[in-house]
Chains A and B, each alone.
Chain A
Amino acid sequence: MTTTSLFAPSRRRVLQGMGAGLATAALPGHVFAQGAPLKVGFQLHRTGIGAAYGRWYERTATAAATAINAAGGIAGRPVELLFEDDATDPKRGAEVVEKLAGPAACDLIMGTLFSHVVMGSAPRAGELKVPYLVCSEGYHVASGALNRWTLQPAITDVRSQIQSMAPWVAANLGKKVTLIYPDYAFGHDHRDFFTAAMPGQGGEVIAQIGIPPTETSFTRYFPQIPAETEVLYHVMVGPAVLTFVKELGEFYGTGARPQLFGFLDSLEAVDTATPGLEFLEGSHFWEGHCRMKQADAGEAETAYRAAVGVDDMGASVSDPADISTYSHMFSCWETLYFIKQAVEASGYAGVADREKLVEAMEAISDLPAGPERPQGGMVFNGKTHQAFGTQNISQIQGGKLLRVHQTSLEDGMYANDTDYTAMSF
């Protein structure tokens, strides 16, 4: 018997190696990088309470980078993503920013979803003077609470989402609303803006039920829902969302229940056909991007699903039980294309040009629909660093999410609360 190893290779191994080398040398030149890669650091919720989002954010961003590189990269440079886990933890988040901006030498950082991690990381990004592009929905960017280096270019914030949908809720579902929301920054945006929006629509919020984001049992909160509630507005996040909706179903059972209006966050990565969720039939959900392929879906939508590996039901093509976080993950795809647009417009060459890059981002306003933006067209406000897009309201019919209303861009516009461009770098 002969043994082979790396140090004493067999003849066959040597021939294989030579063959591979020759084949590589024969590749056409454009397969290789035209220049040094553009390094995009990705702050990823790979573990912790945001893990389901993290898994899909990674897949979506990877698919976008692959598509961009196949089409020639960014300004002729290939884009390289460096994923770093922040454990969905604000303290770790700031450390991840330090690592990506420092030792990993990334040109910019993107990808954070959970608002408490954004709040913990953005100040560090500002200190290190590295562009920090979040995909978080929180109103914290447009509120002026963050800094010149933090932008949210590819997902609408909660304030705008609520402003555009509250009239529909009041007109179609009911006027007396009880809110259930996670008791931290993101949930507080829901609480504050929805409560403020209802009186203008002739409605009112009659109870606010905040639930700690690490809670695992929910039945005990439901008796706080007043009996006269006409609409139950719910938005939950984290690994316990399935428990939340199941217990809600058990609580109401076959008895009378208010209309349900939920943010799809309460069902992200959860199969709508899960046993115990039948009670959701007929209820309405906000969707940032419709999980189930709608009848009028265009080419961009189809191409995006294929690139990321999502089937028409919103599940992974390789595992129908692996449901995507479809309402949010488009923001990774669109943020990467936003980066491409800004880098190419600014002539960005290296980290010394970061200020120029942020200025180029602030100069962008129109973000039309297309392959770069499968969710639909958006408008970017350079002063508030916030993008505005359309929102969807879907109804569960026969276990499927079908869109029944789509807001317009104008529905979600509000006056600027800040002007980051007047702020120093």
Chain B
Amino acid sequence: MSFGPFLLLALMEGMVTAAVLSLAAVGLCLVFGVMRVVNVAHGEFYMLGAVIAWFVASVVPGPAWAVFLAALVVAPVLVGALAAAADGLILKRLNYDPEATIVATIGLLYILQQAALTFYGPDARPVAAPFTWRIQLPWFGYSGYKLFVVAAAVAVLLAVWRLMTRTRAGLIMRATQVDREVAGAFGINVDRVYMGTFALGAALAAVAAVLVVPIQQAHYLMGGDPLLLSFIVVIIGGLGSLRGTVIAALIIGLSDGVISMFFTPTLAKILATLLVAMVLVFRPQGLFGQKT
């Protein structure tokens, strides 16, 4: 394959990675930014989104696109509700202490993963894509659904951005992020903000998973890679900075696509990890993070 088409394919693959990654990472970033909680169980919320999508696909009759839309609604709602419950039952009782919540979310990670293994099983199960349109370029074919994933991720990210900057809920979340105690003094119910933020972060991971499950398959161990990459993205972008997270997801996604294709995927992972190390050494607050 000549250089031009090769690069095109690399960029397309990179865009898909970036799209899914930015959704998952924005969820992680929101939770850290507003609550100062490092959610190690984030990847398992992602996995649960995919598993619930499979359950929805196996019980809802009808055409593939209707099933997919149902999953796109049901999975984030259920995962968000579970996250809200986890917040109320676990994180709140630890007073959101940074060290304690890390340990608690590690525990949650194993509970969710093993519960999925017990109730869903060890198999990778496919969910049909909402449509099977395929683009045939002169050099290679490409899944039209993958391009839809990119568009859908952009739409969801725009919605999150509007929520944070143009709505009252966003204002309250930002106020809580800046200063929890002052926000409380102004009558903001901080507990409810935290619960809502944790649920929203998990729901975003679930949306990413529902989008990705027709490309990959739902599997109980699928949460590991997105968690690692989300952390890489959030650290590079700057903890708590949504803009930084999206830009970092683009950098990591596209470089992953291009480096994997021209060299090897292992080299892409090595370079991403090296970038994290460099950022931590030379700019610990991340590319767009605020110095604290």
Contact = CB atoms under 8 A, between A and B. Distances in A.
Interface of A: 46-48, 51-52, 54-55, 212, 215-217, 219-223, 227, 239-240, 242-243, 247, 249-255, 269, 274-276
Contacts, number: 83
A242 B217 contact: yes
Contacts of A247: 143
B132 interface: yes
Contact of B13 (A48, A220, A249, A255): A220
A155 B125 CA distance: 28
Given A220-B260, A275-B128, A239 B123 contact: yes
Contacts of A222: 140
A46 B132 CA distance: 33
Given A275-B128, A276-B132, A219 B13 contact: yes
Chain B interface extent, by class: 20 to 34
Given A216-B225, A243-B217, A274-B126, 9 more contacts: A52-B123, A216-B216, A223-B1, A223-B140, A239-B219, A240-B124, A242-B124, A242-B126, A251-B142
Interface of B: 1, 6, 9-10, 13, 17, 117, 121-124, 126, 128, 132, 134, 136, 138-143, 215-217, 219, 221-222, 225, 257, 260-261, 265-266
Contact of A220 (B128, B217, B261): B261
Contacts of B142: 250-251, 253
Contacts of B128: 275
A227 B1 contact: yes
Contact of B124 (A55, A217, A221, A239): A239
Given A227-B1, A242-B124, A255 B136 contact: yes
Contact of B215 (A215, A239, A243, A252): A243
A255 B122 contact: no
A227 B215 CA distance: 26
Contacts of B124: 52, 239-240, 242
Contacts of B221: 48, 239
Contact of B216 (A212, A240, A251): A240
Given A219-B9, A227-B1, A240-B124, A250 B260 contact: no
Closest CB pairs A-B (n = 5)? A253-B141, A51-B122, A239-B124, A47-B122, A220-B260
Nearest to A227: B1
B216 A217 contact: yes
A255 B140 contact: yes
Given A215-B265, A227-B1, A240-B216, A51 B143 contact: no
A223 B141 contact: no
Contacts of A242: 124, 126, 217
